Structure 1
Amino acid sequence: MNLPKVLADLVTAQNEFNSVAYANCFSETAEVFDEGKTHSGRKAIEVWIDDSNKKYQSVMEPLSITHDGSTSILSAKCSGKFEGSPLVLQFHFDIEDGLIQRLRVTG
């Protein structure tokens, strides 16, 4: 599968539980919406993913990617310490200038 570089970097960072590298895939003003909450800004995203990594220890296996206008939708099997693991989730990314501007995670 041919992922945009920033998404390949994000998957690698997630699977290595590297919160700093994960957050660096986002712009300074990016937003993440996950589990009913919005996390705004790179530092808040780093705190969110660090907490998530400690809680769920989730790894991603990309399954497919599609594009809908300016949004890339990555379907990935996510495995970790959470009920129902593994789950297939959709990650809706808006990417500009090689960085993620917005991420929305759906089931």
Structure 2
Amino acid sequence: MDLPKIITDLVIAQNNFDSFAYANCFSETAVVFDEGKTHNGRKEIEQWIADANKRYQATMNPLGFEEKETESVLKTETSGNFPGSPIVLTYHLEITEKLIQSLRITG
């Protein structure tokens, strides 16, 4: 599967549980929506993913990728320490100037 570099970097960072590298895939003003919460800016995103990595130890295996007009959609099989693992998650991304500006994760 041919993924944009920023998406490949995101997956590698997640699978290495590297919250700093993960957060650096986002712009300074990026927004993440996950589990009913909003995380604003790179610092909050780094804290959110560090906490999620501790709790869930989730790894991502890309299943599909589609670029639409205003968003990109990544489907992954996500495995970790959570009920129902593995599950398929959908990452709705807005990418601007080769950085993620917005991410919404749905099940």
Give the match for residue 96 of structure 2: 96
Give the whole-Å Cα distance in 1 for the aligned partners of 2:80 and 2:51: 14
d(CA) in 1 for partners of 2:12 and 2:20?
Answer: 12
Cα distance, 1:70 vs. partner? 2.0
Give me the whole-angstrom Cα distance separating, in 2, the residues matched to 1:69 and 1:86: 30
1:41 alignment partner AA: G
Q: Which residue of 2 aligns with 1:20?
A: 20
Structure 2: distance between partners of 1:106 and 1:3: 20
Q: Which residue of 2 aligns with 1:32?
A: 32
**How much does 1:66 deviate?**
1.0
Superposition RMSD in Å: 0.4
CA distance in 2, matches of 1:27, 1:55: 25
Deviation digits for residues 5-40 of structure 1 (CA, Å, limit 9, x no counterpart): 000000000000000000000000000000000000
- Unaligned residue ranges in structure 2 (runs of 5+): none
Gaps of 5+ in 1: none
1:81, CA displacement in angstroms?
0.1
Residue 17 of structure 1 aligns to a residue in which SS?
Answer: coil
1:48 is paired with a residue whose SS is helix
TM-score w.r.t. the length of structure 2 is: 0.99
Q: Provide the aligned length of Structure 1 versus Structure 2.
A: 107
Residue identity (%): 60
Match of 1:64 in 2: 64
